[in-house]
Amino acid sequence: MIVNPKHKKMLDELLEACRQHLPNTDEALISKSFEFCLEAHKNDLRESGEPYFTHPYEVAMIVAREIPLDDITVISSLLHDVVEDTEFNLDILSKEFGKEVAEIVDGVTKISGIFKGQEITQAENYRKLLLSMVKDVRVILVKFADRLHNMRTLQYVNPDKQRRIAQETLEIYAPFANRFGLGRVKWELEDLSFKYLNKEAYDEIARKIKSKRRERESYIKKFTDPIIEKLKEYNLKYEINGRPKHLYSIYRKMVTRNKPFDEIYDLFAIRIILDTPNSNDCYTTLGIVNQMYLPVPDRFKDYISIPKTNNYQSIHTTVIGPEGRPVEVQIRTAKMHEVAEKGVAAHWRYKESKTASDKDLENWVNWIRDIFENASRDEARKELLESFKLNLFQDEIYVFTPKGDLLRLPVGATPVDFAFEIHSKVGYHCIGAKVNGKIVPLDTKLHSGDQLEIITSKNQHPNKNWIKFVITHKAKAAIRKWINKEEEDIIKAGKEIWEKKVKKLKLSFTTSDIAKLITSLKYESPRQFYKSIAQGKVNLDEVLTATKEKEKKDKGQLLGFDNFADIARGDVGGVLVDGKKSGIMYSYAKCCNPIPGDPVIGYITVGEGIKIHRKTCNNLLKISERDVSKLVSVQWPETESSLFVAGLSVNGEDSPGILNDISHAIVSYQNTNIKSININTSNSTFEGSVTLYVQNLDHLSRIIERLKKLKGVYSVERFESA
């Protein structure tokens, strides 16, 4: 029960606004939500110092008066900050006020979370905002009202926050409001944003408008008097006013047209609103205006016969008024005006029921979804942002198929955009176009009223150049998809040619070998290399011959594993059989390449004497199963002065000075000598091989540990085989 007289007065004003503007009102539930809002926010203050609950209250008043839809939206407005800012959760709201209210509050909370504390640069943020709105149109209406009240009280926050919120409003909420057909909300959001983003220009334009007010009012009276006389003769009920000029609109025209204020502001504009349900009266009024004043050719638009996507309807024309001045005239019915000002909210009010059978709204929501459902999953966010902004900001043209069907396209659209709008197959095979019966280039810009016929051919496919002039998201996405598929096919063909040639020449290439070859040939990636093969830009015979020659040369220059393994064994001076030097012939097994310091064992063979294996050799385990008696004990001679050569492979992240770091880590430990070192780099990584002299396995292990500690080194392994 509300006791405070001030609070009771506020509730009474809200209920009165609901009675005036809403078709049905559950006053008990609105009163309950008002009390709940008061209680939930009782300890909170706004930055202005006012009690916080005044904000949700003002948001609810905006919804009730300026964008009225239903009482559920008003209740959701009162509660829209409860979940975000208080201890109450959605379950409580659902239980107290119903599932619909809880879902709308949840949607508004999520949208607020998307933008909190970050710059609006990611396309994903726009996407989430749209998709949450599509679920229930009332979510976005509450958010518009919330943003509008925040902008009206923006003077209380710090300048940095003012600019961030104003920029966000100008880039997202104002164009969004326009798409919803909320003309009045859009203009106010733009003007308030302009005020905080460019205060100097805002104040100057406001001052100039004020100084010219009397002059304008005088001229508009002179222009409208004869029209009023005629309207009375036709018994038409009307309202005529000078269309308000919005500051941001004037500023934007000054910038884009590069003209001074006087030239922009001298474009007079009036609006005639007819109190009639009959749209034909608009055409009667148009006839009256054209009788009085000379119409300007090419400045007539009929949005009554062909409404905009957001259901905006009006007649626009420009005529030459007294003193030779051009005057813009808009003619619409009261119903059309309310839809233009209050958008989808007003549109619903004129329907008997708010169901999915409302075709206009359903089409509009489908159009919103279409922007995203045609976006491929891997599409770059930047491209998604561009296509969304395009659909949000650009005006539309209306073109016709040969059968007379109407299609809406953005201004600047081409025959290729039109072709993809009809069907992706028509777009893919589009080879030419006729506009109004004449063949035109595919990059021709279309105009409202054009009739198009697309000429197709099975042999025609999208051209890379198309991406430069098409502007609809659907066309761009389809062309990119085709180009990517075509490139994949070329790369696949190139890879097949490579594999056949390598197989024919009986060569073997590891992934590492291919990476080295590609780097040496100055290609950025295997894909680019295979593509060049398919396009005939690479002479494979020449490349593979050169590769074979280089391998031979490298083998001659660099010490191979077998070479340094044999040298190591020679340095030690033979092995001991059963602890003694022996004249028995022996050799070292190639399967495991033992070197001094490894635990070894001998295996008696026929014709080759004793084969020396490492004790861990898998091959030895297999052959010893046949006859264990052929195994003999062998050891390396224990001479401290002996050194042997060991081989290490080192891999890691390529960086300046890595060769020096590796060398220093080895040499600085017991003055270890390096026999050879070789480093190859590819795609910011390196592969290296090092041969060095060590005393024993412990010495080698210490070196490996030191190398592994180097920054950027991924792995260090001993050579196991050739």
Is residue 174 domain-shared with residue 314, that is, in the same domain? no
CA 88 to chain centre: 34
189 and 256 fall within a common domain: no
**What per-residue confidence (pLDDT) applies to 437?**
84
- 579 contacts: CB under 8 Å, gap ≥ 6: 633, 635
Residue 47: inside a domain: yes
Query: What local confidence, expressed as pLDDT, does residue 377 receive?
Result: 40
Q: Are strands 580-581 and 452-456 parallel, antiparallel or unpaired?
A: unpaired
Q: What are phi and psi of 693, to 5 degrees?
A: -95, 125
Residue 642 has phi, psi (to 5 degrees) of -75, 145
The per-residue b/e assignment along 61-82, b for 16 or more CB within 10 angstroms, e otherwise, is bbbbbbbbbbbbbbbbbbbbbb
Q: Which of 635, 659, 674 is the last residue of a domain?
A: 635
Residues near 279 by beta carbon (within 8 Å), at least 6 away in sequence: 304, 313, 333, 336
What confidence tens digit (pLDDT) does each residue in 316-330 have? 999 999 888 888 999
Range with the poorest average pLDDT among 21-35, 236-250, 360-374: 360-374
Q: What is the pLDDT of residue 695?
A: 76
> Where is average pLDDT lowest: 206-220, 378-392, 700-714?
378-392
CATH number at residue 287: 3.30.460.10
pLDDT average, residue stretch 4-18 = 91
Residue 455: inside a domain, yes or no? no
Greater pLDDT, 123 or 656: 656
Asked if 562 and 593 touch (Cβ cutoff 8 Å), the reply is yes
**Between residues 125 and 435, the one the model is more confident about:** 435
Does residue 372 contact residue 131 with C-beta atoms inside 8 Å? yes
- 392: confidence class by pLDDT, cuts 50, 70, 90: very low
Question: Contact 615/601 with Cβ under 8 angstroms?
Answer: yes
- Catalytic entry in 26, 85, 302, 383: 85
Average pLDDT, the chain: 79
b/e 558-571 (16+ beta carbons within 10 angstroms → b): ebebeebbeebbee
176 — pLDDT class (breaks 50, 70, 90):
confident
Q: What is the pLDDT of residues 184-236, one digit of tens each?
A: 889 999 999 999 999 999 999 888 888 788 888 888 899 999 999 999 988 88
| Together in a domain, 81 and 189 | yes
Residue among 84, 486, 524, 717 flagged as catalytic = 84
Please tell me whether residues 499 and 538 are part of one structural domain. yes
Is residue 528 in some structural domain?
A: yes
Strand order in the sheet with 634-635: 580-581, 576-577, 634-635
For 696-706, what is each residue's pLDDT tens digit?
Answer: 778 888 899 99
Same domain, 66 and 144: yes
**Residue 303: its pLDDT value, please?**
92
**Residue 360 pLDDT class (50, 70, 90 cuts):** low
Q: Across residues 656-664, what is the average pLDDT?
A: 85
Active site residue 58: no
User: In sequence order, what DSSP letters do the residues of 52-92 get, joined into one string?
Assistant: TTHHHHHHHHHHHHTS---HHHHHHHHTTTHHHHSS--HHH
Evaluate if residue 424 carries a pLDDT over 60: yes
Q: Are residues 535 and 601 in the same domain?
A: no
Any domain includes 375: no
CA contacts within 13 A on the Cβ side of 403? 3
Residue range 627-648: average pLDDT?
74
Higher pLDDT, 94 or 565: 94
Comparison of pLDDT for 276 and 567, the residue scoring more: 276
**Residue 94 sits in which domain range?**
5-196
Model's pTM, two decimal places?
0.53
pLDDT at 565: 45
Given 530, 557, 584, the domain boundary residue is 557
Tokens of 280: 């034909």
303 with 173, same domain? no
Q: Are residues 101 and 214 in the same domain?
A: no
Residue 331 resides in a domain:
yes
Total structural domains within the chain: 5
Q: What is the mean pLDDT of residues 596-602?
A: 81
Q: Is the domain of 213 the same as that of 332?
A: yes
627 is annotated as an active-site residue: no
Task: Specify if 213 maps to a domain.
Answer: yes
At residue 558, the pLDDT reads: 38
Q: Any idea what DSSP says for residue 668?
A: T
Structure tokens at 372: 């995203």
Average pLDDT of the residues in 136-156: 88
| Final residue of a structural domain among 319, 349, 379 | 349
pLDDT greater than 70 at residue 644: no
Note the pLDDT of residue 169: 87
What is the token pair recorded at 343?
């958008």
Please enumerate in sequence order all residues whose Cβ is within 8 A of that of 63, keeping only pairs 6 or more positions apart, or say none. 69, 73, 74, 77, 141, 142, 145
| Tokens describing residue 157 | 């926050």
Strand, coil or helix: 282: helix
Asked if 96 and 215 sit in the same domain, the reply is no
Q: Are residues 108 and 216 in the same domain?
A: no
In a domain, 659, yes or no: yes
Residues 186 and 234 reside in one and the same domain: no
pLDDT-derived band at 338, boundaries 50, 70, 90: confident
In the three-class reduction of DSSP (H, G, I as helix; E, B as strand; rest coil), residue 498 is classed as: helix
pLDDT value at 513 more than 90: no
Who's near 99: CB < 8 A, 6+ residues apart? none
CATH of the domain at 711: 3.30.70.260
Residue 340 near residue 312 (C-beta atoms within 8 A): yes
Task: Tell me, yes or no, whether 684 lies in a domain.
Answer: yes
